[in-house]
Amino acid sequence: MNAPVYTEAGSSPEPRQLALSHVSIEVGHFYMEDLLNGEERIRAQFREVARRLRAERAALHDDRDGIKPRISTCFLIDDYFRPDTDPSVILPRLLQIAEECRVEIDYLAREAGCHEAEGVPLAEITASMLLPEPPAGTTGARPPAQESGWLCNGQRTPAPPVQAMMPGTAWRPPEEFGKRNHTIFTDVEMWSDEVAVVDGVRTELRKWSCPFLAAVWQLIRLGALRHRGEPVAEPTPWTEKWPTRWRDLPAVIRLTDQPQPFAAYRTISILPKAYLQIEHAVDVILSHLDLDEAVVAQTARRAAAERVGLPAQVTERISHVFFEAGGSVRRW
């Protein structure tokens, strides 16, 4: 298992400025199986996304009171869990269908790049920012999130005693932190540690969960991650033939000639309803992070200078448009 990344207090340099759009719009998402199983599913989703994208662009122009907003679009490709697939086959078909449906993609990102980008361990950096939030009455029987890989938004149901002759414990329901009338309890698996044999050596490897990588993805889009003060996963133009291995591609690829900046003050994700649970888990993870104060302060100053309203909480800078197969839409 890779070692966590830590920095000493006061040792981080002043973060480098990062160009920011007003809004980054994610134009859909597919599991790799969707991309492998014919074109009709891809085409049907992009048709829905095109309608939502036009509506979001129109609403953003209205919100800016006549000032042309800086808007960039992006698409996250699911290569982390299926690195055995061939980008030279998948990407031309995906981008061609997107173009046919009039869904312009400025930036293409790899999910594996949310794990590690250009040698920088982004997932580990994000995990090192987790804030433990032990509920009252915690006994220490369950290890903290940094050790267990599990994170919840409240107090779990206590485990029954395992020793003989111990008095029984009455069942108690889980309780959400800051609940409103009733609890909506979520327990998220952020990673799992697996043992593999590599060249005859027994090695412990960490496998990051989809919600955790999606949380890193949101932080990258918000320009909220730095490594030794430097931005991470900066977009790289790509004009060559598509390779046959995903790892031969940059973490974030610039597809259009002169797009607005990849990172933005706010993000919108236009997604099928099936991703709602994952995005709720992302919200739980992000709400437990202690972000770099220098980056947060820098972004707040720039937003104020541009007269951009920017919520203090990073989770409030993220919004979603969920659509169903029948074409109805839900906001969350």
Q: Residue 283: which domain range?
A: 21-127+206-331
Tokens at 275, concatenated: 């991703």
Whether 139 maps to a domain, the answer reads no
From the list 268, 252, 257, the residue with the least C-alpha distance to 218 is: 268
Whether 247 maps to a domain, the answer reads yes
Q: Which residue has the tokens 């490897």?
A: 205
Whether 169 maps to a domain, the answer reads no
- The backbone torsions φ and ψ at residue 74, rounded to the nearest 5 degrees and listed phi first, read -150, 165
The listed range with the strongest mean pLDDT (34-48, 54-68, 89-103, 144-158) is 89-103
pLDDT at residue 7, as a whole number:
46
Pairs from 192-195 (Cβ < 8 Å, separation ≥ 24): 192/149, 193/1, 193/149
Per-position b or e across 296-329, b if 16+ CB within 10 A of its CB: bebbeebbeeeebebeeebeebbebbbbeeeeee
The listed range with the strongest mean pLDDT (36-40, 134-138, 182-186, 252-256) is 252-256
Whether 228 maps to a domain, the answer reads yes
For 254-299, write each residue's pLDDT tens digit: 999 999 999 999 999 999 999 999 999 999 999 999 999 999 999 9
Q: What is the pTM of this model?
A: 0.88
pLDDT at residue 182, as a whole number:
85
Of 137-146, 242-251, 288-297, the least confident: 137-146
Whether 50 maps to a domain, the answer reads yes
Whether 248 maps to a domain, the answer reads yes
What is the maximum alpha-carbon separation in the chain?
Answer: 73
Whether 291 maps to a domain, the answer reads yes
Whether 299 maps to a domain, the answer reads yes
- The domain tally of the chain equals 1
From the list 255, 283, 259, the residue with the least C-alpha distance to 269 is: 283
For 219-236, write each residue's pLDDT tens digit: 999 999 999 999 999 999
